[in-house]
Amino acid sequence: MFAPQRREILLDRLDTDGRVVAKDIAAELGVTEDMIRRDLRELAAAGLCQRVYGGALPASPAVADYPARQSVAVDSKARVARTAAALIRPGTTALLDGGTTALAVARALPARLAATIVTHSPTIAAALAEHATVEVEVVGGRLFKHSVVTAGAAALESLAHISADVFLLGVTGVHPDAGLTTGDREEAAMKRALAARAGDTYVLASSEKIGTASGFPVLPLADVTGIVTDAPSDAPVMRALAKAGAHFLTAG
Protein backbone atom coordinates (compact mmCIF):
# COMPACT_ATOMS: atom_id res chain seq x y z
CA MET A 1 0.00 0.00 0.00
CA PHE A 2 1.39 3.40 -1.03
CA ALA A 3 1.76 6.29 1.42
CA PRO A 4 -1.04 8.45 -0.10
CA GLN A 5 -3.46 5.54 0.31
CA ARG A 6 -2.44 5.01 3.93
CA ARG A 7 -2.79 8.69 4.72
CA GLU A 8 -6.24 8.82 3.19
CA ILE A 9 -7.26 5.91 5.42
CA LEU A 10 -5.77 7.65 8.46
CA LEU A 11 -7.70 10.84 7.75
CA ASP A 12 -10.91 8.90 7.24
CA ARG A 13 -10.36 7.05 10.54
CA LEU A 14 -9.74 10.35 12.35
CA ASP A 15 -12.99 11.66 10.96
CA THR A 16 -15.08 8.61 11.86
CA ASP A 17 -13.46 7.47 15.14
CA GLY A 18 -11.97 10.70 16.46
CA ARG A 19 -8.59 9.06 17.02
CA VAL A 20 -5.94 6.83 15.44
CA VAL A 21 -3.94 4.29 17.44
CA ALA A 22 -0.74 3.65 15.50
CA LYS A 23 -0.25 0.07 16.71
CA ASP A 24 -3.81 -0.98 15.89
CA ILE A 25 -4.03 0.53 12.43
CA ALA A 26 -0.56 -0.77 11.50
CA ALA A 27 -1.75 -4.30 12.28
CA GLU A 28 -5.00 -3.70 10.39
CA LEU A 29 -3.21 -2.47 7.26
CA GLY A 30 -0.36 -4.99 7.46
CA VAL A 31 2.37 -2.35 7.67
CA THR A 32 4.91 -1.38 10.32
CA GLU A 33 4.23 1.07 13.12
CA ASP A 34 7.16 3.15 11.84
CA MET A 35 5.31 3.64 8.55
CA ILE A 36 2.18 4.82 10.35
CA ARG A 37 4.19 7.15 12.60
CA ARG A 38 5.89 8.61 9.55
CA ASP A 39 2.52 9.13 7.90
CA LEU A 40 1.18 10.83 11.03
CA ARG A 41 4.22 13.12 11.17
CA GLU A 42 3.55 14.19 7.60
CA LEU A 43 -0.14 14.77 8.30
CA ALA A 44 0.68 16.74 11.46
CA ALA A 45 3.16 18.90 9.56
CA ALA A 46 0.36 19.73 7.12
CA GLY A 47 -1.94 20.63 10.02
CA LEU A 48 -4.26 17.68 9.37
CA CYS A 49 -3.88 15.89 12.72
CA GLN A 50 -2.59 16.41 16.24
CA ARG A 51 -0.01 13.82 17.23
CA VAL A 52 -0.31 12.31 20.70
CA TYR A 53 1.42 9.42 22.43
CA GLY A 54 0.64 6.25 20.51
CA GLY A 55 -1.23 7.88 17.63
CA ALA A 56 -3.13 11.03 16.67
CA LEU A 57 -6.30 13.06 17.19
CA PRO A 58 -8.15 15.37 14.78
CA ALA A 59 -6.44 18.77 14.58
CA SER A 60 -8.39 21.88 15.46
CA PRO A 61 -8.90 24.47 12.71
CA ALA A 62 -8.97 27.14 15.43
CA VAL A 63 -5.17 27.27 15.83
CA ALA A 64 -4.89 29.68 12.90
CA ASP A 65 -3.86 33.24 13.74
CA TYR A 66 -6.43 35.80 14.84
CA PRO A 67 -7.16 37.38 11.42
CA ALA A 68 -7.72 33.96 9.82
CA ARG A 69 -10.05 32.83 12.61
CA GLN A 70 -12.38 35.77 12.07
CA SER A 71 -13.89 34.07 9.02
CA VAL A 72 -14.20 30.56 10.56
CA ALA A 73 -17.63 29.29 11.75
CA VAL A 74 -19.03 32.81 12.08
CA ASP A 75 -22.67 31.71 12.53
CA SER A 76 -21.74 28.99 15.03
CA LYS A 77 -19.72 31.46 17.10
CA ALA A 78 -22.62 33.92 17.07
CA ARG A 79 -24.97 31.27 18.47
CA VAL A 80 -22.50 30.35 21.20
CA ALA A 81 -21.91 34.03 21.99
CA ARG A 82 -25.59 34.84 22.44
CA THR A 83 -26.03 32.00 24.93
CA ALA A 84 -22.77 32.75 26.77
CA ALA A 85 -23.55 36.47 27.06
CA ALA A 86 -26.59 35.58 29.19
CA LEU A 87 -24.22 34.02 31.76
CA ILE A 88 -22.93 37.50 32.64
CA ARG A 89 -25.55 38.70 35.11
CA PRO A 90 -26.17 42.30 36.20
CA GLY A 91 -23.88 43.35 39.04
CA THR A 92 -21.40 40.50 38.58
CA THR A 93 -17.72 40.39 37.69
CA ALA A 94 -16.87 38.26 34.67
CA LEU A 95 -13.55 37.19 33.20
CA LEU A 96 -13.67 37.15 29.41
CA ASP A 97 -10.98 35.28 27.49
CA GLY A 98 -9.55 36.42 24.17
CA GLY A 99 -10.47 35.16 20.73
CA THR A 100 -13.12 35.66 18.09
CA THR A 101 -15.92 33.91 19.99
CA ALA A 102 -15.22 35.99 23.09
CA LEU A 103 -15.34 39.11 20.96
CA ALA A 104 -18.75 38.00 19.72
CA VAL A 105 -19.80 37.63 23.38
CA ALA A 106 -18.72 41.21 24.09
CA ARG A 107 -20.80 42.45 21.18
CA ALA A 108 -23.81 40.36 22.29
CA LEU A 109 -24.02 41.86 25.78
CA PRO A 110 -27.29 43.74 26.49
CA ALA A 111 -26.98 47.49 26.02
CA ARG A 112 -28.08 48.22 29.59
CA LEU A 113 -26.06 45.51 31.33
CA ALA A 114 -24.28 46.86 34.40
CA ALA A 115 -21.37 44.54 35.17
CA THR A 116 -17.60 44.43 35.43
CA ILE A 117 -15.62 42.57 32.80
CA VAL A 118 -11.96 41.70 33.23
CA THR A 119 -10.09 40.67 30.09
CA HIS A 120 -6.55 40.10 28.86
CA SER A 121 -7.63 40.90 25.30
CA PRO A 122 -6.99 44.47 24.10
CA THR A 123 -9.41 43.82 21.22
CA ILE A 124 -12.25 42.96 23.60
CA ALA A 125 -11.41 45.87 25.90
CA ALA A 126 -11.63 48.25 22.93
CA ALA A 127 -14.98 46.77 21.87
CA LEU A 128 -16.37 47.19 25.39
CA ALA A 129 -15.18 50.79 25.56
CA GLU A 130 -18.34 51.61 23.63
CA HIS A 131 -20.59 49.93 26.22
CA ALA A 132 -22.05 52.62 28.48
CA THR A 133 -22.67 50.56 31.64
CA VAL A 134 -19.95 47.88 31.62
CA GLU A 135 -16.83 48.58 33.66
CA VAL A 136 -13.71 47.20 31.98
CA GLU A 137 -10.48 46.06 33.64
CA VAL A 138 -7.55 45.05 31.43
CA VAL A 139 -4.94 42.50 32.50
CA GLY A 140 -1.51 43.72 31.44
CA GLY A 141 1.51 41.73 30.29
CA ARG A 142 3.39 40.67 27.17
CA LEU A 143 1.22 40.72 24.05
CA PHE A 144 0.90 37.30 22.45
CA LYS A 145 0.32 38.51 18.90
CA HIS A 146 -1.00 35.24 17.49
CA SER A 147 -4.17 35.51 19.60
CA VAL A 148 -3.91 39.22 20.52
CA VAL A 149 -3.98 38.57 24.28
CA THR A 150 -1.56 39.27 27.12
CA ALA A 151 0.38 36.40 28.65
CA GLY A 152 3.58 35.73 30.54
CA ALA A 153 4.73 36.29 34.12
CA ALA A 154 3.48 39.88 34.47
CA ALA A 155 0.01 38.92 33.30
CA LEU A 156 -0.14 35.96 35.67
CA GLU A 157 0.98 38.10 38.62
CA SER A 158 -1.65 40.74 37.89
CA LEU A 159 -4.42 38.15 38.40
CA ALA A 160 -3.56 37.65 42.08
CA HIS A 161 -6.08 40.20 43.36
CA ILE A 162 -8.88 39.44 40.90
CA SER A 163 -11.95 37.48 41.94
CA ALA A 164 -14.76 36.84 39.46
CA ASP A 165 -18.15 35.17 39.43
CA VAL A 166 -17.73 33.56 36.02
CA PHE A 167 -15.03 32.97 33.42
CA LEU A 168 -15.85 32.47 29.74
CA LEU A 169 -12.96 30.36 28.48
CA GLY A 170 -11.86 30.09 24.87
CA VAL A 171 -10.07 26.95 23.68
CA THR A 172 -9.14 25.54 20.29
CA GLY A 173 -10.01 21.91 20.97
CA VAL A 174 -12.57 19.92 22.98
CA HIS A 175 -11.87 16.18 22.82
CA PRO A 176 -12.99 13.21 24.96
CA ASP A 177 -9.40 12.01 25.39
CA ALA A 178 -7.36 15.23 25.31
CA GLY A 179 -9.82 17.39 27.22
CA LEU A 180 -9.62 21.15 26.66
CA THR A 181 -6.59 22.24 24.66
CA THR A 182 -5.01 25.23 22.96
CA GLY A 183 -2.09 25.88 20.64
CA ASP A 184 0.43 27.65 22.91
CA ARG A 185 1.98 26.65 26.24
CA GLU A 186 1.96 30.12 27.83
CA GLU A 187 -1.56 30.82 26.66
CA ALA A 188 -2.68 27.53 28.23
CA ALA A 189 -1.09 28.57 31.55
CA MET A 190 -2.87 31.94 31.37
CA LYS A 191 -6.22 30.25 30.78
CA ARG A 192 -5.71 27.99 33.80
CA ALA A 193 -4.83 30.99 35.94
CA LEU A 194 -7.95 32.83 34.81
CA ALA A 195 -10.12 29.81 35.59
CA ALA A 196 -8.65 29.63 39.08
CA ARG A 197 -9.91 33.17 39.80
CA ALA A 198 -13.57 32.48 38.94
CA GLY A 199 -16.40 30.70 40.73
CA ASP A 200 -17.66 29.09 37.52
CA THR A 201 -15.93 28.45 34.19
CA TYR A 202 -17.82 27.94 30.94
CA VAL A 203 -16.11 26.96 27.69
CA LEU A 204 -16.93 28.78 24.45
CA ALA A 205 -16.97 25.93 21.93
CA SER A 206 -18.31 26.58 18.46
CA SER A 207 -18.97 23.36 16.59
CA GLU A 208 -15.69 23.20 14.64
CA LYS A 209 -13.76 22.77 17.92
CA ILE A 210 -15.77 19.78 19.16
CA GLY A 211 -13.91 16.49 18.74
CA THR A 212 -10.56 18.15 17.92
CA ALA A 213 -7.35 18.71 19.83
CA SER A 214 -4.36 21.04 19.96
CA GLY A 215 -0.91 20.62 21.45
CA PHE A 216 -1.26 22.03 24.97
CA PRO A 217 -3.74 20.97 27.67
CA VAL A 218 -5.73 23.67 29.46
CA LEU A 219 -8.10 21.81 31.80
CA PRO A 220 -9.81 18.43 32.08
CA LEU A 221 -13.44 18.34 30.94
CA ALA A 222 -14.70 17.70 34.46
CA ASP A 223 -12.98 20.82 35.83
CA VAL A 224 -15.30 23.31 34.10
CA THR A 225 -18.91 24.09 34.92
CA GLY A 226 -20.14 23.64 31.37
CA ILE A 227 -19.42 23.80 27.66
CA VAL A 228 -21.46 26.23 25.59
CA THR A 229 -21.80 24.71 22.13
CA ASP A 230 -24.18 24.43 19.19
CA ALA A 231 -22.87 21.00 18.17
CA PRO A 232 -25.69 18.44 17.74
CA SER A 233 -26.41 16.84 21.10
CA ASP A 234 -26.93 13.39 19.53
CA ALA A 235 -23.56 13.31 17.76
CA PRO A 236 -21.32 10.40 18.83
CA VAL A 237 -18.55 12.77 19.92
CA MET A 238 -20.98 14.61 22.20
CA ARG A 239 -21.93 11.34 23.86
CA ALA A 240 -18.24 10.52 24.29
CA LEU A 241 -17.60 13.94 25.81
CA ALA A 242 -20.48 13.50 28.25
CA LYS A 243 -19.10 10.10 29.26
CA ALA A 244 -15.72 11.77 29.88
CA GLY A 245 -17.31 14.23 32.30
CA ALA A 246 -18.47 17.15 30.16
CA HIS A 247 -21.66 19.10 30.85
CA PHE A 248 -23.28 21.12 28.09
CA LEU A 249 -25.20 24.35 27.71
CA THR A 250 -26.90 24.17 24.32
CA ALA A 251 -26.54 27.28 22.15
CA GLY A 252 -29.40 27.99 19.78
**What CATH number does residue 92 fall under?**
3.40.50.1360
- Answer whether 237's CB lies under 8 Å from 210's CB: yes
Distance CA 104, CA 206 (A): 11
The pLDDT of 56-78, averaged and rounded, is 76
- Answer whether 42's CB lies under 8 Å from 82's CB: no
Distance CA 84, CA 229 (A): 9
13 plus 125 within the same structural domain: no
38 plus 74 within the same structural domain: no
Query: What one-letter code names the amino acid at 215?
Result: G
- Answer whether 55's CB lies under 8 Å from 40's CB: yes
Q: Is 15 exposed, middle or buried (0-12, 13-18, 19+ CB in 10 A)?
A: exposed
200 plus 96 within the same structural domain: yes
Of residues 117 and 151, the one with the higher pLDDT is 117
Q: Is the dihedral of CA 123, 126, 130, 131 positive or negative?
A: positive
Nearest Cα residue to 69 out of 106, 30, 32, 104: 104
Q: Distance of CA 187 to CAs 88, 181, 207, 244, Å? A: 23, 10, 21, 24
189 plus 113 within the same structural domain: yes
What three-state secondary structure class fits 216?
A: strand
Query: What one-letter code names the amino acid at 26?
Result: A
Q: Distance of CA 138 to CAs 36, 94, 119, 213, Å? A: 46, 12, 5, 29
Mean pLDDT, the chain, whole residue set: 92
Sequence length of the chain is 252
Q: At which of 12, 31, 59 does a domain end?
A: 59
32: domain range?
3-59
The DSSP call for residue 149 is E
133 plus 40 within the same structural domain: no
- Answer whether 197's CB lies under 8 Å from 95's CB: yes
Q: Is the dihedral of CA 153, 156, 158, 160 positive or negative?
A: negative
19 plus 55 within the same structural domain: yes
- Say how many domains are in the chain: 2
The pLDDT of 85-95, averaged and rounded, is 98
Query: pLDDT tens for residues 21-50?
Result: 999 999 999 999 999 999 999 999 888 899
- Answer whether 173's CB lies under 8 Å from 60's CB: yes
The CATH number for 33's domain is 1.10.10.10
pLDDT at 77: 92
pLDDT at 61: 79
238 plus 202 within the same structural domain: yes
Where does the pLDDT of residue 4 fall: very low under 50, low under 70, confident under 90, or very high at 90 and above? confident
